[in-house]
Amino acid sequence: MTVPDELHYTREHEWVAIDRATASVGITDHAQGALGDVVYVSAPAAGSKVTAGEPCGEVESTKSVSDIYSPVDGEVAEVNPEIEDNPGLVNTDPYGAGWLFKVTLPQPDGALPAGLLSAAEYEELISDKA
């Protein structure tokens, strides 16, 4: 299970990459491994508001369905257009082509929401659970 250093993480197994005023969001390698084959992603619609720590979508796999929790506050700028037809990208490339949506942050380079984990903290979280 990979946990890239440059990303931040939620306790609910999302990752977030922040570049100026844009946050890209996906689910972690650990999460996709636990879910199994992803068959459908219901991401928040472009233009909708998301709130850090609140559910904003769902990931359906063969065995279960899980909520997606937004790691940040903001407005959804874009949903990964590939995910609709190819949800398996979440399994094969969770940190790359399997990204879920992008959020425009209220202010660029603002403080990170409280509660996000560093890579080291997230690795500790999943090693406790594994």
Please report, as ranges, the residues that interact with another protein according to CB under 8 A.
33, 36-37, 39-40, 42, 58, 60, 62-65, 91, 130
The residues near 18 (Cβ < 8 Å, ≥ 6 apart) are 8, 72, 105, 112
Taking the complex as a whole, how short is the minimal distance between the CB of residue 130 and another protein, in angstroms? Answer: 7
| Shorter beta-carbon distance to another protein: residue 61 or 70 | 61
Read off φ and ψ for residue 47, nearest 5 degrees. 95, -15
Taking the complex as a whole, how short is the minimal distance between the CB of residue 62 and another protein, in angstroms? Answer: 5
| Shorter beta-carbon distance to another protein: residue 19 or 58 | 58
Residue 81 · residue 89 · CB < 8 Å: no
